[in-house]
Amino acid sequence: MNDPKSQSGPPAAARKPHSYTRHGVTVDDPWAWLRDPAFPELKDPAILDYLTAENGFFGGWKAKHQGLLDTLFAEMKGRIKDDDRSVPIKDGDWLYWWAFTPGAQYRTWYRKRIAPSSASVRSERSEPEASAVEGRLAQTAEHRPSTSLRTNEVGQSPDHDDDDAQIIFDEPAEAAGKEYFVLGAMEVSPDHKLMATLIDDDGSERFSLRIRDLSTGKDIETVTDVGIGQPTWSNDSKGVIFTEVNDQWRSYRARYHRLGDDPAKAVTLYEETEDLGFSVGIGKSQDESTIFIGTGDNTTSEVRFVSAHDPAQPLTLIKPRQTNREYDVDAAHGKLWILTNDEHINFRLAEADPARPAEWATVIPGSDEIYLTDVTPYRDWLAVTRRVGGLDQLALRNYAGEETPLPFEEASFTAYFHGNPEFAPATVRVGYSSMVTPTTVLDYHPDTRAFDIRKVQEIPSGYDASLYTTERIEVTARDGVRVPVSVVYKKGFPRDGSGRLFLYAYGAYGHAVAPTFNSNRLSLLDRGFACAIAHIRGGDDLGYRWFLDGKLMKRTNTFNDFVDVAKGLVAEGFASAGRIGINGGSAGGELMGAVANSNPELWGAIVADVPFVDVLSTMLDDTLPLTPGEWPEWGNPIADEAVFHYIKSYSPYDNVTAQNYPPLLITGGLSDPRVTYWEPAKWAAKLRATKTDDNLLLLKINMGAGHGGKSGRWESLHEVAETYAFILSEVGV
* Catalytic member of 549, 672, 716, 718: 672
392 among known catalytic residues = no
576 is catalytic: no
Instruction: For Cα atoms 236, 241, 242, give the angle at the middle one, nearest 5 degrees.
Output: 155
Q: How many CB atoms lie within 10 A of CB 326?
A: 20
The catalytic residue among 192, 418, 535, 707 is: 707
Residues in a beta bridge with 218: 213
What is the rounded distance in angstroms from the CA atom of residue 570 to the CA atom of residue 580? 9
86 contacts: CB under 8 Å, gap ≥ 6: 97, 98, 99, 140, 141, 455
DSSP assignments along 539-556, one per residue: B-TT-HHHHHTTSGGGTH
26, 17 contact by CB (below 8 A): no
Consecutive H or E run containing 524: helix 522-525
Are the C-beta atoms of residues 306 and 289 closer than 8 Å to each other?
Answer: no
Whole-number Å distance between alpha carbons of 542 and 510 = 10
> DSSP character for 100?
P
Q: Which helix (H) or strand (E) holds 684?
A: helix 678-690
Residue 637 corresponds to which amino acid?
Answer: P
d(CA 374, CA 602): 38
How far apart CA 304 and CA 569 sit, in angstroms, is: 48
**Residue 334, C-beta contacts closer than 8 angstroms, at least 6 positions apart:** 353, 354
Catalytic residue among 131, 289, 586, 711: 586
Q: Which residues contact 630 (CB under 8 A, 6 or more apart)?
A: 277, 618, 619
- Residues 303, 336: Cα–Cα separation, whole Å: 12
* Cβ atoms < 10 Å from Cβ of 321: 17
Dihedrals phi, psi of 241, to nearest 5 degrees:
-105, 135
Residue 702 burial (CB count, 10 A)? 23
Return the amino acid letter for 539. Answer: G
Residue 605 Cα to chain centre, angstroms: 24
Dihedral of alpha carbons 704, 709, 714, 720, sign: positive
β partners of residue 432: 415, 440
Cis amide linkage into residue 40, ω under 30° from 0: yes
**Is 160 tagged catalytic?**
no
* Crossing angle of helices 45-64 and 678-690, rounded to 10°: 70
215 DSSP assignment: T
Catalytic residues: 586, 672, 707
